Amino acid sequence: MEIAVKNCQRSIKINPGSIRQVLESAIRQLSSGKRIRGRNLASGFFFDPTNAVVSVLLVGDRRMRAINMAYRHMYRTTDVLSFSQLEGPLARHDSAELGDIVISPAQAKRQAGERGTSFDQELALLLVHGLLHLIGYDHEKNRYQAHKMREKETELLHAIQKVVR
């Protein structure tokens, strides 16, 4: 399993090791010793979680706004964006490269304050949320998909809570 973390913001101190731990735990929990089958999953895609490759990019609000505008045509900051390598015309279904997760720690910190949770808990939620998008979950499709994604997030967060402390 390869998890690359690049921190391009300076406002919030981040421990790359804890990011790796959360994602490794989530991927292991998803697989439970089996190969993961996701939406791309719907197309019958499988991968061996021990070979999973994920990158995490931590950016400031300004850069997150620019990325959100470029890819979603929304000029506002957001907490997390995911870019799956498993979908689209260039997708390689023989690869364990899941894709990229982009997070704004500043937005995560604001949301943690609003929700009454810790920054680490919010960051773990965003990592799990981003990972689920990478393997094909999409809460924006319809209510059923949103419900399935929330269930899976909750399940994963409970399973990895020892790591998140």
pLDDT in tens, 56-102: 999 999 999 999 999 998 989 899 999 987 665 545 555 578 889 99
Geometric angle at alpha carbon 57, from 46 and 136, rounded to 5°: 25
pLDDT at 35: 45
Q: Are 8 and 64 in contact (CB under 8 A)?
A: no
Q: What is d(CA 120, CA 107) in angstroms, rounded to the nearest whole number?
A: 13
- Structural domain boundaries, residue 8: 2-164
Q: Are 5 and 16 in contact (CB under 8 A)?
A: yes
Please report which residue ranges of the chain form alpha helices under DSSP H: 16-31, 61-72, 105-115, 119-134, 143-159, 161-164
| Domain containing residue 139: CATH number | 3.40.390.30
**Domain tally, the chain:** 1
Q: What is the pTM of this model?
A: 0.85
**The two structure tokens encoding residue 26:** 């989530």
